[in-house]
């Protein structure tokens, strides 16, 4: 089955919305909200995140730089398969290194990869801290924690930047839907070649 046939069948083009940012920036919240909005509109979408991949496919990985890179590599490969199937794959990963995100983009294909920087200042992320990870990192219980004792390399040219310290979830989802619509992913138009 070709990509054009899948697009006609599903009424959409497969792609990957890659949400990247610090822990606590709002990636998972936005991924779930975007998925809900797309499904409510009759679209085929699915969230891939650390929770659903690290409990299965990536259960053998820790959080060293090399293991983080492998986590992102595997996530990129799975997301590429979802996009090939015609789904809108929404990923929610810190994915702190530009090179790892570039590898995911290469696996998916540039034309179908929408890198979205979920941007919130470190102090906002620490205040939110839904899993108490920053507190534990500051106490020395977690080594190599992104933003505290390990680096985060923000995207240089994201398709979209969402400042979640200023924008609420509904506005962010509206902007994400606009990005998808503007890119032609919510139509059955034949996809461009990568």
* Known catalytic membership, residue 95: yes
Alpha-carbon distance of 153 to 57, in angstroms, equals: 25
Listed residue (175, 191, 181, 179) closest to 13, CA to CA:
191
Judge whether 134 and 40 are in contact, CB under 8 Å.
Answer: no
Active-site annotation holder among 23, 28, 92, 95: 95
Spatial CA neighbour of 153 closest among 21, 18, 26: 21
- Cα radius of gyration rounded to whole Å, the chain: 16
Question: Tokens 């990247």 — which residue?
Answer: 20
Which amino acids are annotated catalytic?
95
């Amino acid at each position: 089955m070709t990509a054009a046939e899948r697009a006609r069948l599903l009424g959409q083009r497969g792609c990957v919305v890659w949400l990247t940012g610090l822990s606590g920036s709002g990636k998972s919240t936005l991924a779930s909200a975007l998925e809900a909005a797309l499904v409510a509109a009759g679209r085929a979408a699915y969230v891939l995140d650390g929770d659903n991949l690290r409990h299965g496919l990536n259960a053998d990985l820790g959080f060293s730089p090399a293991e983080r890179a492998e986590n992102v590599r595997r996530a990129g490969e799975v997301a590429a398969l979802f996009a090939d199937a015609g789904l809108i794959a929404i990923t929610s990963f810190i994915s702190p290194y530009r090179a790892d995100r570039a590898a995911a983009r290469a696996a998916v294909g540039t034309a179908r990869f929408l890198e979205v920087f979920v941007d919130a200042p470190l102090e906002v992320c620490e205040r939110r801290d839904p899993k108490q990870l920053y507190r534990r990192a500051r106490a020395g219980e977690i080594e190599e924690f992104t933003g505290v004792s390990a680096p985060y390399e923000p995207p240089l040219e994201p398709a979209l930047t969402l400042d979640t310290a200023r924008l609420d979830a509904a506005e962010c989802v509206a902007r994400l839907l606009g990005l998808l619509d503007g890119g032609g992913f919510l139509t059955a138009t034949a996809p461009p070649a990568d």
